[in-house]
Amino acid sequence: MNRDHDYPIDWAVIAWNIKSEAGWHCEHCGHVHDTAAGYMLTVHHLDMDKENCDYQNLVALCQRCHLRIQARYSPLQMWLICRPTWAVLRGVG
């Protein structure tokens, strides 16, 4: 199933800007975008809504962190430990 239609038409530009603002590093683990080493930088929608491209809803994550955070994070959850920097910067949690 092709779900590309869920993204806004300018998604490539939005994603590029988020990754560039993060210095092409994962905002969670800090690893640099390095596909040869298995660290592909992606952009995650915190609320899982591909149409919500507000800065507060987008975070640059390597694929490894993206999958972990997507499986465990909910925008309304309370943090049991210190919030990650990306959550503080976006005012979430």
Extract the tokens encoding 33.
Answer: 């975008």
Q: What integer pLDDT is reported at residue 1 of this predicted model?
A: 35
Q: What integer pLDDT is reported at residue 3 of this predicted model?
A: 52
Cβ partners under 8 Å of residue 61, min gap 6: 26, 27, 28, 41, 42, 43, 44, 69
Residue 51 DSSP class: T
Average pLDDT per consecutive 10 residues, the chain (93 residues; last block may be shorter): 69 97 94 91 91 92 88 61 75 68
Q: What integer pLDDT is reported at residue 62 of this predicted model?
A: 95
Residue 78 domain boundaries: 4-90
Q: What integer pLDDT is reported at residue 71 of this predicted model?
A: 72
Q: What integer pLDDT is reported at residue 2 of this predicted model?
A: 40
Q: What are phi and psi of 28, to 5 degrees?
A: -100, -55
Cα 14–Cα 73–Cα 93 angle in degrees, nearest 5? 85
Domain count along the chain? 1
